[in-house]
Structure 1
């Protein structure tokens, strides 16, 4: 039994390619980038892979299809495999898709916000409650993040959560973002200005940091919001 178990764990590259539908070049690239551990070698040109490689490659493929960066995937696949379950991946993919309008300097129109499913009355209420704040006096153009905020609010409204409660959640998220931004500027960005890094290297380090934080925040949120069993009652 022991020999049979060990044989199952030792998978040659040619078999790994068949089991995962990935090429040798792709698998070696993921290993080189640190997304996968270095395989066991029985000879100079012969490496074997275990079943964990197959599971991780499946997860990597799903995240690549969901437009995650290599940096995000590297951080996520190195956590416990239970963390990256189907539901968690679906949430993370949704988070990525909420950001189609780029940086805050880009603006979105009131008609784009209406396409989410808001009426004129809803939009006016969002403005009155200062959930979204226009960039002009006529309330026709808004910062890009307003689209994400409105999708977030619409989700709660559809579930029957009052708009004022959704506003309180958004307000706290904005406060958290301000704290995070100040910490980033003071402790991460500022020291780089005194370093010997070029502007391009500084930019790459900043992007790497932001990607890592963005990859971890949804997982942290899922873990913190997990409801205790006593919340669910039997009827």
Structure 2
């Protein structure tokens, strides 16, 4: 927890202001504050409501977050788990199996690693997204913070991997369908669905991994390849059925 405000500042311990962090990382003030609120970076030494000082640990943590995002393509929620040392609970044997399966399901999930020649995946500039889909940079940052997409920083401007473009298109369509800011709808409303699916997926891993660990990796990959579309169809139809049952109950 950050020290209380109005204390004298030891500038050898807290040498940086926000502008210094921005200059040394290439991040803007809004993004750094966002990382602090998402508990990716600790708070600084506060000397007032809108003033704080920061130490080397803040600079190192910001650089680590950027490395995990831009080089390993990890979303922010995964980065937070890595930084907090959260244990996934898998045995060494289970982790070995999952690593083998990983190489066999890219045809279903898309590329899981950078290209073999080291070239970047296809990306779209944020300025293009803002112009094409009438989405704001702040909304993109919020979607990134929810772990729904992964903005990648570059020397010029942030980019979005083409794999994540579907989410921007969906948000654009939701706005077009009437879920507008004027009616009170914001990116944060997607957190309900993101958190639910995230929890569901973790429960799936805990439930299914011990059973699948008894099978060869090829069989596990084939079950995953065939089962994932069926489970996705179930979730869609069951969600629709729950809405139907609710409105029926109003008669």
**Shared fold (TM-score greater than 0.5)?**
no
Per the normalisation by structure 1, the TM-score is 0.44
Question: Which is richer in helix?
Answer: 1
Structure possessing the higher radius of gyration over alpha carbons: 1
Per the normalisation by structure 2, the TM-score is 0.41
